[in-house]
């Protein structure tokens, strides 16, 4: 098993394949060392291109990944109809051999599939996307009942490190008063937010009960993960899903 990435531990159908990369075993130099997949990070473009080729070849992907220009919004695109690098924060497909991917370095990557193994999706969920409804928009695009969806929560900043202001907490509580349990009081006017718990609440409210993953912290695990909050200038990990 290649230690350059994480194989999601979830009961996805055999036709569904997925990986989440770490920062290990790539070709970028510090501060992007080493498997940086972010083309807009300031890294050497040749090194990033080499990293992308390595990912496709070493992970056995069926082709190039459909990546997005992520803007912390809620737009969802179909990979099979999308223009190159569309501006969106989630991507889905029902076509085989078409990898869908998103990039993160603290935000939460969420993978989706249906229980029949016919549709997959990947969403980029920072706090703005979560509050705005990117997960709900992705589920709507999949057009599968929530009870038939399986979700996996990938590496994100953990609840002991993700400090936010009153306005972030208010954005979630305005829509879900029960979300208060996902926030822990920090210094005055600041809170520690649990992205995993917030995402789980949003998914469950949309009928999704089969939720797996979580428990990572990109901020504290310096060896395996890039973290924008920790380092500022840094690379990006990729989370990819496809149908065989």
**Which residues on adjacent β-strands are paired with residue 239?**
20, 102
State the average pLDDT over residues 195-220: 97
182: which DSSP letter?
A: G
Tell me whether residue 185 is in a domain. no
C-alpha span between 78 and 48 (Å, rounded)? 25
- Work out the average pLDDT over 45-49: 98
CA distance 77 to 82: 6
The tally of domains found in the chain comes to 1
How sure is the predictor about 162, in pLDDT bands with cuts at 50, 70 and 90?
very high
* Residue 2 clears pLDDT 90, i.e. is over it: no
Question: Which CATH number is 138's domain given?
Answer: 3.60.140.10
Q: Does 184 map to a domain?
A: no
Q: Does 1 score more than 60 pLDDT?
A: no
The string of pLDDT tens digits covering residues 76-104 is 999 999 888 899 999 999 999 999 999 99
Would the pLDDT of 227 be above 60? yes
Is 57 a member of any domain?
yes
Mean pLDDT for 207-216 is 97
pLDDT digits over 12-44, tens only? 999 999 999 999 999 999 999 999 999 999 999
Token pair of 205, please?
Answer: 């409210």
* 102-142 pLDDT, tens digit each: 999 999 999 999 999 999 999 999 999 999 999 999 999 99
DSSP 8-47: --S---TTEEEEEE-S-S--PPTTS-S----TTSSS-HHH
Residue 171 located in a structural domain: no
| Measured distance CA(72)–CA(75) in Å, rounded | 9
The answer to whether position 188 is within a domain reads no
pLDDT attached to residue 57: 95
Q: Annotate 193-203 with b (16+ C-beta within 10 A) or e (fewer).
A: bbbbbbbbbbb
Q: Is the pTM of the predicted complex or chain greater than 0.85?
A: yes
Residue 3, pLDDT score: 75
- The alpha-helical segments, DSSP class H, found in the chain are 45-58, 127-132, 134-142, 166-173, 195-205, 228-231
- 95 lies in a domain? yes
Q: What is the mean pLDDT of the chain?
A: 96
How confident is the model at residue 4, as a pLDDT?
80
Whether 2 and 58 have beta carbons less than 8 Å apart is answered as yes
Structural domain that includes position 38: 11-161+195-243
Kindly state the average pLDDT of the residues 211-227: 97
Rounded to whole angstroms, how far apart are CA atoms 244 and 236?
25
Share of the chain above pLDDT 70, in %: 99
Domain assignment of residue 3, yes or no:
no
- Residue 150 resides in a domain: yes
């Amino acid at each position: 098993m290649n230690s350059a990435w994480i194989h999601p531990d979830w009961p996805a159908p055999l036709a569904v394949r997925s990986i989440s990369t770490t920062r290990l075993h790539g070709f970028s130099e510090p501060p992007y060392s080493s498997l940086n997949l972010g083309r807009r990070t300031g890294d050497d473009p040749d090194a990033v291109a080499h990293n992308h080729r390595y990912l496709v070849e070493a992970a056995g992907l069926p082709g190039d990944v459909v990546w997005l220009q992520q803007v912390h919004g809620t737009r969802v695109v179909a990979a099979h109809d999308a223009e190159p690098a569309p501006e969106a924060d989630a991507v889905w497909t029902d076509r085989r051999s078409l990898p869908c991917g998103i990039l993160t370095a603290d935000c939460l990557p969420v993978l989706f599939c249906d229980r029949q193994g016919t549709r997959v999706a990947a969403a980029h969920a920072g706090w703005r996307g979560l509050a705005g409804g990117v997960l709900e928009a992705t589920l709507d695009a999949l057009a599968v009942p929530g009870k038939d969806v399986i979700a996996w929560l990938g590496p994100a900043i953990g609840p002991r490190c993700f400090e936010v202001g009153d306005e972030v907490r208010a954005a979630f509580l305005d829509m879900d008063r029960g979300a208060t349990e996902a926030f822990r009081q920090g210094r005055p006017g600041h809170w520690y937010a649990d992205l995993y718990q917030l995402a789980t609440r949003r998914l469950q409210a949309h009928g999704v009960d089969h939720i797996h993953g979580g428990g990572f912290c990109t901020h504290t695990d310096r060896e395996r993960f890039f973290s924008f909050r920790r380092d500022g200038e840094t690379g990006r990990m990729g989370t990819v899903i496809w149908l065989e």
